[in-house]
Structure 1
Amino acid sequence: MGDYLAAEKHADWGMATYDPDRDHRLTYIFTGHDPDFSALMLWIRGYPDQALQRGREGMSLAERESHSVTIALAQSTLAFVHLLRREPEAGLEWAQLQLDVASKYDLPLLAGTARFCFGWALAQQRELQDGIREMRKAVEGIAATGAEAGMNFYLCVLAHAYGELGDASEGLTLLEKAFGIIAKSGTRHLLPELLRTKGELLSRLHAQDDAVEGWFRQSLMAARSESTKLPELRAATSLARL
């Protein structure tokens, strides 16, 4: 829902409480481990190095449990964190490992998120057409599973890639779908990034449009209200470039 402080507090409690030997049976009920969620919260709140370290801790715990879904989730987290840090080579490597596990154990949702990160990494490496093609297929695959969590951000990343390709209009169309998901679900997950990306796309179409600054300022205020330091920094950087 976008309450990152509460999410991190719950993740910290889970990590402090969890005992790998005593609670191993819970792996087959809930899957995943709190270090994975904590890693994403750390990046959002402005601690990218700690986020990467927490992701590695999650990977180590997943390997100890030797549970396919947990391993794929940990690999997904590392791929995601690397791509948020704009490290496409490492992101691509973890996405491929996740795809291998998800394909082997027939995990369609996790295969979809792996393919998305694969395409995202290609786009960051300036292989925009291939990256967009992979991300579009991934979004379709994820939607086919019925999952909606995170879809607004997937569409945001895809929209940004279209802007980089020179098709800001298509990017804005995708962003409207992302905002529609937010309106329907009430989630605010990474909302500042959506607001900032809309400003970036509009600037590509109308560089002198006053609305561009307005979207960047909305992004900045949303990030500040959530205490999300890295989205705040990105919004401030976009404003400074006007």
Structure 2
Amino acid sequence: MTSFYLGRLADARRAYEELAALGDGEEARPESLVYGQDLSVGPLGYLGWTQTLMGECERGAATVERALARAREGGHPFTIAHALNVAGLVRCDRREPALVAAHGEEMLALAREHHFPFLVALALMLVGWARFALGAATEGLALMSEGEARYRAAHQKVGVRARAQLAEALAAAGELDRALAVADGALEHARATRDDVYRSEVLRVKGETLARRGADGDGALACLREAVDVARAQGAALLALRAATSLVRLQRARGTAAATATLEAIHRGFTEALDLPDLRAARELLAARA
């Protein structure tokens, strides 16, 4: 898990593959009585999350659904809720809000029933993002903000990923100054804690927000270039694709030389789940080039 959050995705993947191979679910279930969850489920879920970020989006989704199925077989509420969270996060990364809503709402009901306040907070963030993405902007932002507040009340520091999502939603809602404040806080948090795996997302969101505001085009381009570089260095192909798409779009809007070759190279690395929104957006941008 340390390698994952440090952004060392290839190392994380190898470790999760080894851990996932150790248990078949049946042997691990008694561990939930000692450790509070079925230890065969977490590595499998995180493996799927890692696969998704590395661009194996179909394989990653299948892996997290296997983890969720294993959790359901075990019948341990905390393990099921945790698996729902990871599955929901993967569906967020795939831009599938209806599935995020389904996982998040089930997780929220389970967390409330069994009094898991930390997981209630995470579930609210999932449901809030889904509602926002499905068009209920005010409700979605309110739920995301409530989730963030509950997360802090549980004496947890809101992670970089959650802050990136909140900043992106705020920017989309036109709250640009607040979005930039959240993004800057996320970058400071990443520097302080080395929670780096979604740092490229924060940089992308900051760059897009600066571009929306219109006052600092050079700063926006610098953020987006750094986002591409960070994601590629980590092996986070999906996040690199998003950042490169945003970079090329802004460069074309400003009439400057675009990093089209970089976007093409990243896009060529994808061989599955080609209908996902981020992949479609990249293809449409490439097809529309002058």
Q: Following superposition of structure 1 onto structure 2, how do residues 107-118 of structure 1 map, counting pairs within 5 Å?
A: 107-118=116-127
1:89 counterpart residue number: 98
2:37 counterpart residue number: 31
Q: Cα distance, 1:27 vs. partner?
A: 2.6
1:74 counterpart residue number: 83
1:63 counterpart residue number: 72
Q: Deviations over 1:128-174 (max 9, x none)?
A: 111111100000101111223x6221111111111111111110011
Residue type at the aligned position of 2:44: P
2:185 counterpart residue number: 177
Distance 1:176 1:212 in 2: 13
Residue type at the aligned position of 1:9: R
Normalising by structure 1, report the TM-score.
0.95
8 Å CA contact 1:163–1:201 kept in 2: the answer is yes
Q: In structure 1, list runs of 5 or more residues that go unmatched.
A: none
1:138 counterpart residue number: 147
Residue type at the aligned position of 2:77: S
8 Å CA contact 1:109–1:145 kept in 2: the answer is yes
Normalising by structure 2, report the TM-score.
0.80
1:16 counterpart residue number: 21
Residue type at the aligned position of 1:230: L
Q: Deviations over 1:54-91 (max 9, x none)?
A: 11101111011110110001111222111211111111
Q: Following superposition of structure 1 onto structure 2, how do residues 1-242 of structure 1 map, counting pairs within 5 Å?
A: 1-28=6-33, 29=35, 31-32=37-38, 33=41, 34-148=43-157, 151-206=159-214, 209-242=217-250
How many residue pairs end up in the alignment? 241
8 Å CA contact 2:210–2:216 kept in 1: the answer is no
Residue type at the aligned position of 1:31: Q
Distance 1:159 1:21 in 2: 41
8 Å CA contact 1:82–1:88 kept in 2: the answer is yes
Q: Cα distance, 1:208 vs. partner?
A: 6.4
Q: Cα distance, 1:47 vs. partner?
A: 1.4
Residue type at the aligned position of 1:11: Y
Q: Cα distance, 1:184 vs. partner?
A: 1.5
Distance 1:20 1:118 in 2: 28
Q: In structure 2, list runs of 5 or more residues that go unmatched.
A: 1-5, 251-290
8 Å CA contact 2:159–2:195 kept in 1: the answer is no
Secondary structure, aligned partner of 1:24:
coil
Residue range with higher mean Cα deviation, 232-241 or 2-11: 2-11
Q: Cα distance, 1:228 vs. partner?
A: 0.8
